[in-house]
A and B are shown apart, each in its own frame.
Chain A
Amino acid sequence: MADVHLRINGVDRRLEVEPRVSLLDALRERLGLTGTKKGCDQGACGACTVLADGERVLSCLALAVQYEGREITTIEGVADPIQRAFVRHDGFQCGYCTSGQICSALGMLAEHAAGAPSAVTEGLAAAEIELTEAEIRERMSGNLCRCGAYNGIVAAIQETQETRVAERDVPTLVEGRR
């Protein structure tokens, strides 16, 4: 048994787990945070995506003990306009991939904001990479949705990005943000 300390959704949590316990199972089975989903347990579907210090990770491929002292954000700790955007654009049907899509999208937007290119980025030297539909699709391709809500997910992410850009450019709007 290992003693692990994680900061999850802003709360310090200690848990005793075997070293083989995945971060995903630690969240779901030990901490009751079942918002993070298990779709394959093999790193192939993205349903288990969470944010570790703001970066997206597949929690089924991560061991809880590896994340000692790290800041983990799960869907239960997300409070972002992107969630409303998913509802508005119907970016899900059954909802099982949704937690992963949302966490992944937030991590992806941060990667993009930090200037990370993707496999479809054309001008790598450009100061700012435009987050086109093709860019979003490429960057989100690790998150499967068998219900096929991809169009709605892309629209929700685009809207979120547009709002963020607008708010960045017009500082007064920031106060109105929910």
Chain B
Amino acid sequence: MTTYVGEAVDRVDGTAKTTGGARFSAEYPYPDLAHAALVHATVARGRITRLDTTAAEAVPGVIAVLTHRNAPPLKPAPRVTPLNLATLASGTSVNYLNTDEVHWNGQPVAVVVAESPEAAQEAAHLVEVAYAHLPATVDFAAAEPDAKPQKSNLIMSGGAVKGDPEAALAAAPVALDLRYTTPPHHHNAIEPHATTAHWADGRLTLHDGAQNIYWTRDHLAMRFGIPKDDIRVLSPFVGGAFGGKTMVWPGTILAAMAAKATGRPVRLMLTREGVYRTVGGRTPSTQRVAVGADESGRMTALIHTSVTLTGRVGGGPEQVTSQTRHLYDAAAIRVQQNLVELDVLSNTVMRAPGESIGTFALEATVDELAYRLGVDPIELRARNEPARNPMDGKAFAHRKLRECFEQGAKEFGWAGRNPEPRSTRDGRWLVGTGVAAAYHPSWQFPANVTVRLSADGTALVRCGFHEMGMGGATAQAQIAADALGLPVEAVTVEYGDTRLPTGPGAGGSAQTASVAAALVAACEKLTRLARALARRTPGAAGASYPEILRLAGRDSIEARVGSDTRLGTAVGQLRFAGKLMSDRRRWVKAACGAQFCEVRVDADTGEVRVTRWLGVFDVGRVINAKTAASQLRGGIVMGIGMALAEETLVDPRTGRIMNASLSEYHVPVHADVPAIEIRYLDDPDPTMPLGLIGVGEVSITGVAGAIANAVFHATGRRIRDLPITLDKLL
């Protein structure tokens, strides 16, 4: 019996968010609260040779100026070990304010703590620092030719090959060999990273916008050398994150350090510039995509290689070529990811790391091949749609990509399209349409959940998961309501607190599925308990669960899934990892979709406007029709930004980000976004809990490809370097 799952239920936190009642991490009042501000290094690499804090200390209201000379000791960032996943959480390996060395342009070199935010900001400007420069490599374009192949690890393989693609390419009757570039991007969640830290009796309470509160807790425990149970991280509302609040960045650690050093509760809300200086973003990339085909359009060779960067102090590979292993049934395939290491801040995960930019290059190439062959781009994709995973013949757990294209073509009116570039004009506007495939792997992580059912007909679900806008609490309330036969309003969901049963991090589009799996199991336990109770209770046969409790004289019953003991966690992690590996051996799991768009390009100025959008997705079962559609739309909006405007500009001499503000880094605004139509097939994936595949990331993939293809259709120009700004079209 399903009542709520699949419905367009209003968000449970809708009132809080529309009345100003939702409190974010910079909004917790503490008596005696002090405010902190950061001072950022202005060189890419060097050593601090002179430091003068006199003027800063003289500002009225300044409590302390912390530098490497007087800051409390911090333990170094932990070495990464698979036995403790929180070791992955270091934003960088730098031991902040415990070293006179500078490793990136923007590294915090001092923290000012003051009675007011104004005094802290003023004093931060007055800290004088001089540096001895050390040689630094910061220019991605210059370093890119020296990239080294990425080593494979447990979760990501750096490269793979099937057959002899270079030979097949050389022999192909139709062949393309193209190069693409994409710039760095920043998440730009509208809430800047903020932390409020409070120590009492050696214990730390931290309000911190985070995508993984347990990583944050465990990481701080390692850095401050205290038991993790002495730290509580609270993060009930996060003002957007998109990957940028996954790792533990300097601001979080320095807020806790400043609070410790001053004995005061401290709030550190990064300035917008501070976010750019101290929180990593998406890597820039160069990509080669080469494809060979026979005259019928069957791909005989497909090659996709990439170069991305990591910081010498941290970051990692982004799986730019991942979708190319799965999308087309080419006879010979090679993918290879390469890396350069630069003296810049670590790159980090940002919505669909890898696939967002990888699908741009791949899908633009496929479109170009379609034109070369004179075949419709959707038809070309259909001719190369694999029955099994092209790289290794593994089965797909769920693959409805063709259906997505078919439904999309029908609804978008693709059939009537004149394929001729520059063939449609409306006044000064050149009009074009484009398509691209979307693809993102699906994941699931362990979660601990407790559910309590009360005789008054309410239920309480507790799990330390995260809400950055996905509507997680609403989705889980729907699931619990259906499982327990309650109205959705009767279910309360608690999340965003490390005191709760350990939840999954918000990443890999996996959170909803991960919590749902545990929640469904917990509800089953609970209903079994209730039915057992009913059998022992006269008159309870056929009663609702709350009635059973009332008749049996019980206030409540509770069920839990997962085990938060040390041993339990270890065993649980092992069992989970085992299932994950066996799943991965059997199936290729992913969400996919088809992106359709119309653009208009000003014939005189080259300005590109997106005027229509339709995305059809295969994301398994959808729990909440409203929030899922919103999340899918949100990814498309971010993709529009990536295609047409977003670019972090880095000074190639100094490694300094030059446009560290929302006025110079352009994210899409209202006027840039048309009505976006969202469809999903709503066909459950039998290998996922409740059949659901995550929706958080798939919809940003393919967007830039579809736009680039539409721009070509409108103008006859192929732009292979993002963003597609007007100067490139003139």
Contacts and interface: CB of A to CB of B under 8 A. Distances in A.
Contact of B630 (A140, A143, A149): A149
Interface residues of A, number: 59
B18 interface: yes
Q: Which of A42, A45, A102 has the most CB of B within 10 A?
A: A45
A54 interface: no
Interface stretch (B152-160, B401-409, B660-668, B715-723): B660-668
A152 B628 CA distance: 13
Contact of A35 (B19, B269, B471): B19
Contact of B18 (A18, A98, A141, A150): A98
Given A44-B663, A95-B469, A143-B670, A76 B20 contact: yes
B11 interface: yes
Contacts of A86: 14, 18
Contacts of A38: 26, 192, 269
B11 A87 contact: yes
A32 interface: yes
A34 B191 contact: no
Contact of A29 (B116, B189, B662, B669): B116
Contacts, number: 174
B316 to A, nearest CB: 24
Residues of A contacting B: mostly: loop
Residues of B contacting A: mostly: loop
B1 interface: no
B140 interface: no
Contacts of B524: none
Contacts of A137: 670-671, 673
A148 B636 contact: yes
Contacts of A151: 633, 673, 675-676
A20 B269 CA distance: 18
Contact of A87 (B10, B188, B237, B629): B10
Interface string A36-61: 11111111110100000000000000
Contacts of A18: 116, 118
Contacts of B671: 137-138, 141
A144 B11 contact: no
Interface in A78-137: 78, 83-84, 86-88, 90, 92-99, 102, 133, 136-137
A94 B237 contact: yes
B19 A83 contact: yes
B20 A39 contact: no
Given A39-B192, A140-B670, A146-B667, A94 B469 contact: yes
A97 B117 CA distance: 22
Nearest to B677: A151
Given A96-B191, A146-B667, A153-B670, 11 more contacts: A34-B27, A39-B192, A44-B662, A75-B19, A87-B11, A94-B239, A94-B241, A95-B13, A96-B190, A99-B20, A148-B673
In the A-B complex, list the 10 residue pairs whose CB atoms are closest, starting with the nearest.
A35-B20, A148-B637, A93-B469, A96-B239, A95-B17, A94-B469, A148-B634, A87-B14, A75-B20, A34-B27
7 contacts: A29-B117, A37-B239, A44-B661, A94-B191, A95-B239, A96-B240, A151-B673
Interface of A: 18, 20-21, 25, 28-29, 32-45, 47, 74-76, 78, 83-84, 86-88, 90, 92-99, 102, 133, 136-138, 140-154
Interface of B: 10-11, 13-24, 26-27, 29, 35, 116-118, 187-192, 237-242, 269, 271-272, 467-471, 626-627, 629-631, 633-638, 661-663, 667-671, 673, 675-676
